[in-house]
Each structure stands twice: as structure tokens, then as C-alpha cells.
Structure 1
Amino acid sequence: MTDTMIGVIGGSGLYEIDGLEGASWIEVESPWGDPSDSILTGRLDGVPMAFLPRHGRGHVHSPSTVPYCANIDALKRIGVTDVISVSACGSFREDMAPGDFVIVDQFIDRTFAREKSFFGTGLVAHVSLAHPTCERLSAACEASARDAGITVHRGGTYLCMEGPQFSSVAESKLYRDVWNCDVIGMTNMPEAKLAREAELCYASVAMITDYDSWHPEHGAVDINEIIRTLSGNADKGRELVQRLPALLGKDRAPCPHGCDRALEFAIMTAPEKRDVDLVARLDAVAGRVL
């Protein structure tokens, strides 16, 4: 058993967690650069929690400039074991309406301007991403959402686009009708990939704000409508997060799906060939196996 520490990465509209005991904002230094912001730490129902605003307070980072590597490293560095990603998204499904939540279980990564791995030349590793979210953690998010009275859909494929522009109608129809995606957003990749490399359980809670641009009755994405929906979604998101400590508990057994052992057989580079500087940068992310 280890101690549970819940890390929440809050997306658009979600910039804090209410009710944290002993709450304080801390600066965390990372060899991967500065995280998006300071990290709010404290305890909720006796369980340590950390909150990191993905875009920074005041929304200073675009989806492309979020320092994903630094964010995941910083959370791992302070002891986080389980990461809950909360983010806004568009929907490709009539029955997944604005205001609903989707517990994502698959991704299609269409980003191209982001660093996507902690590993590289001098230290090569390949982790499995067949199931990119943690079933145990996702189940807890679903239970928490239902307990809070939120309309939630379990399972869905998230198309991660580069942005910051929204989709064209042609793109939206491609993702919906041909690729069979369920929601679209701009931030869960490479976040989920990096969390897996850092051996962190990761769950994605996608808060629907709009129907993207495919829906004939809703037209183009309207940022004003999105902002209005974000406010209500953020309140729901905080309710979901506040119920998680009671569900996950203080003591944490090894992940039954192996998220916390993802690097067990992943590193390919022979010990004598490893880049010592890269090994040093990976002290938090991969120290267990290095």
C-alpha cells in the first residue's frame, strides 16, 4: 500500500478546488521547464490533493503552449499518484449534449506542435497506450459524477486537435462520421501519453460545451455560448472532484491495470549507452526503474 495523492489538472473554467484544508500555492521546479502555474496543495477529507490550472490562472497558455512535460513531472515530483484531467470539449453525438460530462477512454491524437515524450535520443522507451486511461480511476470519476447529479457518459473517443482554431465543418464531419469520434478537444494529448510514461493513473473528464460545427441546427462554434456553458460545467466539475477522496481513500493498492508499472519493460537503451543528462532529468518520472 502507498498513500493516495490526487492531482487535478483543471482546464478552461476550472481554476481552483473548494474546501481544501491547509491550502497553499507552491512553486515546483522541474527540469522540464516551468509548469503552467503554481500548484495548489492541501487535503480534502484527509486525502492529499494537488490542483494545477492547465492554462495558468488568467488563461495565459494556449493549448499548444501548455508545458505538458513540466506539468506531469511537477505532479509526479510532489507525490501525486492519480491524475484527473478536467477539460472542455465539443460533442459529435446528439445524445452527448452541452452540460453533459464524458469519461473518455480512447484518444486520437491530431496534434503536431508539442513535445510528446519524456524519452528520446540516449534513452529510448516505449510504453503501451492501448488503453490510455485508467479503468479504476475512470470508474471513480463516473461514480462521483452520478452522485453529484451530473449527466455523465462512460466511455468515448476524444479527438485531440492542435488548435487554437476550432474545426471546419468538413473536419467536424470527418471526425464524427468517418472516424467515429465522440468528443473533440485540444489538451488531453500529449498529457495522457506523458502521464503513462510517468506511471501515473490518468482519467479524463470531458465537459461538453458545444456541438462543434457538424450539427445543422447549431451552426459554428460560438465562443460566447461556450463561456456561458463553461461556468455551469466548472461548478459541476468542482462537485465531482470534491467527492473523489471518499471514493479513492487514503490508502492506495497497486493499480490493477498496471498504470503505475508502465515502465517495467519499456526502456530499450542499454545502461552503458544512456544519456546521463537525460537520466538525471527523469529522476521523478522514471526514477523507479532507472
Structure 2
Amino acid sequence: MSDAGRKPLIGIIGGSGLYDIAGLEDKRWERVSTPWGETSDELLFGTLDGVSVVFLPRHGREHRISPTDLNYRANIDALKRVGVTDVLALSAVGSLRADLPPGHFVIVDQFIDRTFARPKSFFGAGCVAHVSMADPVCSRLGDALEAAARGLDVPVTRGGTYLAMEGPQFSTRAESNLYRSWGCSVIGMTNMPEAKLAREAELCYATVAMVTDYDCWHDDHDAVTVEQVVKVLHGNADRVRALVRAVVPRLGGQAHGGERHDCPAGCDHALDHAIITAEGARDPDLVARLDAVAGRVLGD
């Protein structure tokens, strides 16, 4: 079933230091069950300027889950299951470029996935699918984020490549310089496989990468520490809140009567030609687990 004509439901995934959304009305925390296990935390439901919002703290409210141990499949499934249409991922990152200093925001448009210890797909033996990741984020969401950030005079760069590393350790200096030589803009630990799973779930997805440090490549800056990251995160808090408050009404479709329209980038139809396993050969148990993620094409 298409999302067209539905009321938008904006999902926000909060990274390090972002464990709540200020200004939400009618707030309630609710646990959502998924066939992929438990989410990082309960989901926070509410409204922001009349637009329905669901917030998920990626690492849990007490930051108890490391990047490798996050249940990315459960998190994305839960957002899809409750009717989320658009996902804004807010993430702390290190900068790999001198012109992206701490405090700067980057609206990412590409990823390089260097993670290796995480399940990366909802599909597998018994139901194989291959979605396109050529353009891994939704340009419509990127447009809205850029307009909101520039309207607030938030220091922002549109476009950049996010290098996703496994962690939980920070980079070696050799790794940091290697990723710089590849032309990467920022480095983080959590947006892969999150973005891949969002695409499989036919969710519009975009990342706001909030720079907290220069990783370890910059000779004039100390190597990154948790204390340094947290200090910059606190400094970014007001700008993050303002950005969320500004962008949610834009995504709420207020200019179109509050109704969701088909995504011009095709995110909401990513599975149209992705499933390759013949219908009669599909594993019924896996198909049942895919009810929220792929029910539109598998027949819910």
C-alpha cells in the first residue's frame, strides 16, 4: 500500500547525547514489539506543532548499547510498524575535512560501509532481495533539512560522504588518513546498516551528521575523546532542537493539506523490483517476519 494520502508520521533517531525531543506534546513512551527482537528503547510518541512524531534514542536513554550491539533491524522495523513515513537520523561524527569544524552540521548524501559485525538486511535465505543504494538518502528530506538549517543560520554543508566504521574504538591515525584520501567528509559508527535497512523498509531516510571533533588526523588538535565529544554535543543541543522544530512542519505536509505524497525519489517503492526469490519458493517464516517491512510487495 502506498503512503500517498496518509498523514505523515516523522521518525527521529537520536544519536549520542540526544535522548529526548524537547517541545513534544501529548508525550508517551511505548514499547513496540518486533519479530527481530527488542528495540534500543521504548519509542516516544507525540506531536510537534501539530505534526505526529516518533522518537527513538538509538543507544537507549542511558546510552547503554554500543554501535556494534545495536539491533538496527528491530529499530527500523518498529518505526515502519507504527506507520513512520520519514526518518531523520541525528548522529555525532568526526570530521575528515578541515572545512568541517566541530559544531558544523553535514547533510550527508553518500556512505561507505566499513562495518563487518552486524546483520545488514531483513532479507536472506528463503527470500532474497537486492535494493538499490546508489542514492542512499532521500533528496526530499535533504532539501527540507537544508532549508530549515539555513533559515536558522546553522552552519551546514549539503552533501558529503559518511564513512561508517565498526567501532567501538575510534580510528587509528592511519585509518583516518586513509579515509581522507578516499574523499570522505565525516566518520561515524551508526548510520550503517541503518540507512540500508531503512531503504529495504521503503522509508525516506536522511542523516544530519553533527561534527564533534577532527577524528585523529588533524595535527593541531588532540585525538578524539569521549569528554570532547560530549562537550560539543551539549553545545549543539539548542541548534539540534531548533532544527528539529523547524523541519518537522515542513515534512508534515502543511502546504499540501497535511497529506503524504509519493516520494519523488522513489524511496517508498524501493522494493518494486528488488525481490528475486520466486513466490512459491519463499520461506513462509521469513515472509511472516517481513510483514511490516515488505508487506506492500509480499502481500500483507
Same fold (TM over 0.5): yes
* Alpha-carbon shift at residue 72 of structure 1 (Å): 0.2
Residues 41-77 of structure 1, C-alpha deviations (whole Å, 9 max, x = no match)? 0111211100000000110100001110000000000
1:189 to 185, 192, 217: 192
1:137-148 superposed matches below 5 A: 137-148=141-152
Q: Which residue of 2 aligns with 1:266?
A: 274
Gaps of 5+ in 2: none
Q: Which residue of 1 aligns with 2:264?
A: 256
Quote the Cα distance in structure 1 between the aligned partners of 2:66 and 2:271.
30
Letter in 2 for 1:257: A
Letter in 1 for 2:27: A
1:1-290 superposed matches below 5 A: 1-177=5-181, 179-248=182-251, 249=253, 250-290=258-298
Consecutive aligned runs of 4 or more in structure 1 exceeding 3 Å deviation = none
Q: Report the aligned-residue RMSD.
A: 0.8
Quote the Cα distance in structure 2 between the aligned partners of 1:220 and 1:48.
40
* Alpha-carbon shift at residue 239 of structure 1 (Å): 1.3
* Alpha-carbon shift at residue 222 of structure 1 (Å): 2.4
* Alpha-carbon shift at residue 263 of structure 1 (Å): 0.2
Aligned-partner SS, 1:209: strand
Quote the Cα distance in structure 2 between the aligned partners of 1:251 and 1:19.
23
Aligned-partner SS, 1:242: helix
Quote the Cα distance in structure 2 between the aligned partners of 1:258 and 1:96.
30
Letter in 1 for 2:196: K
Sequence identity, in percent?
Answer: 64
Gaps of 5+ in 1: none
Quote the Cα distance in structure 1 between the aligned partners of 2:228 and 2:31.
34
Quote the Cα distance in structure 2 between the aligned partners of 1:25 and 1:260.
27
Letter in 1 for 2:296: R
Letter in 2 for 1:41: F
Quote the Cα distance in structure 2 between the aligned partners of 1:236 and 1:281.
38
* Alpha-carbon shift at residue 289 of structure 1 (Å): 0.3
* Alpha-carbon shift at residue 246 of structure 1 (Å): 1.8
Quote the Cα distance in structure 2 between the aligned partners of 1:260 and 1:78.
15
* Alpha-carbon shift at residue 192 of structure 1 (Å): 0.1
Quote the Cα distance in structure 1 between the aligned partners of 2:152 and 2:281.
52
Q: Which moved more, 1:280-289 or 1:140-149?
A: 140-149
- TM-score, L = length of structure 2: 0.95
* Alpha-carbon shift at residue 121 of structure 1 (Å): 0.1
- TM-score, L = length of structure 1: 0.98
Quote the Cα distance in structure 1 between the aligned partners of 2:66 and 2:237.
19
